[in-house]
């Protein structure tokens, strides 16, 4: 792998910033000063340092983020704060959110750079369960509804927690269509007043996080995710 690519991915700066850093002779590979961006390195074996401090190699990062309302699920946006703006203490520069929550939806979002895992988690064929807690204006009983697409949505699993004066429910779905939960309720004449994702596959939104906070996944959580995707 090219040295400038490695240093950019490890979060030292953009490709051009990294090139400037290299010119300052502050990068060493196995103790030798290296200034050429195209130098080939083997991150697992080579000892790469910046200002005498090792640049630790981190192939994959996995974070559980409690998305607050008011930010968009994107890596960049001209108008709004993005979910990535909250992840200030991470290593890699190529992290992205897996799936999408609406700007006003809160809750569990996986952030990683593991593209294969993300692809599997989002694949309709894998039927990964996502559970949402919602407050609904009215009472809901219906499953498997027409949301105006040619194909009907698969039935969700619905748990009614409270029904007066507003309903509080938990709905589990395996698909991830655009505004799916809101559209399922709209289709039966109900409005979603509040929506929060509380689980995705084996991942649960745990009490240690407040909206806007994140933590690395545990080894157990990473293993469980990979098993789901087998």
182 binds ligand URA (CB under 6 A): yes
Q: Residue 124 phi/psi, 5° resolution?
A: -60, -30
CA-angle at 181, arms to 64 and 108, nearest 5°:
5
171 binds ligand URA (CB under 6 A): no
Q: Which residues are catalytic?
A: 102
Binds ligand URA (CB under 6 A): choice among 28, 105, 131, 167: 105
Only one of the segments 154-162, 176-184, 207-215, 219-227 lies at the binding site for ligand URA (rule: CB under 6 A); that segment is 176-184
Q: Give dist(CA 115, CA 98) in Å, integer.
A: 9
What is the number of residues in the chain? 230
The yes or no reply on residue 110 touching ligand URA (CB under 6 A) is no
**Whole-angstrom distance, CA of residue 107 vs CA of residue 68:** 7
> x/- contact string, 46-65, with ligand URA (CB under 6 A)?
--------------------
Are the C-beta atoms of 229 and 126 separated by less than 8 Å?
Answer: yes
Residue 74 or 91 having the CB closest to ligand URA: 74
User: Which residues lie near ligand URA (CB under 6 A)?
Assistant: 101-102, 105, 179-182, 195
């Amino acid at each position: 792998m090219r040295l400038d690519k490695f240093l950019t991915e490890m979060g030292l700066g953009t490709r051009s910033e990294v090139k400037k850093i290299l010119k300052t002779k502050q990068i060493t590979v196995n103790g030798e000063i290296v200034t050429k961006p195209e130098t080939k390195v083997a991150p697992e074996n080579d000892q790469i340092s910046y200002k005498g401090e090792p640049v630790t190699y981190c192939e994959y990062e996995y974070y559980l983020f409690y998305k607050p309302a008011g930010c968009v699920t994107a890596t960049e946006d001209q108008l709004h704060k993005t979910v990535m703006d909250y992840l200030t203490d991470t290593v890699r520069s190529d992290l992205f959110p897996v799936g999408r929550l609406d700007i006003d939806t809160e809750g569990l979002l996986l952030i990683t750079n593991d593209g294969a895992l993300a692809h599997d988690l989002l694949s309709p064929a894998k039927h990964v369960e996502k559970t949402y807690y919602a407050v609904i204006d009215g009472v809901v009983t219906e499953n498997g509804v027409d949301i105006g697409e040619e194909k009907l949505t698969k039935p969700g699993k619905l748990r009614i927690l409270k029904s007066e004066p507003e309903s509080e429910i938990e709905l589990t779905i395996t698909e991830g269509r655009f505004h799916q939960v809101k559209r399922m309720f709209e289709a039966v004449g109900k409005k979603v007043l509040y929506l929060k994702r509380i689980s995705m596959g084996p991942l649960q939104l745990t009490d240690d996080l407040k909206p806007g906070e994140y933590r690395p996944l545990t080894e157990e959580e990473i293993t469980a995710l990979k098993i789901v995707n087998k």
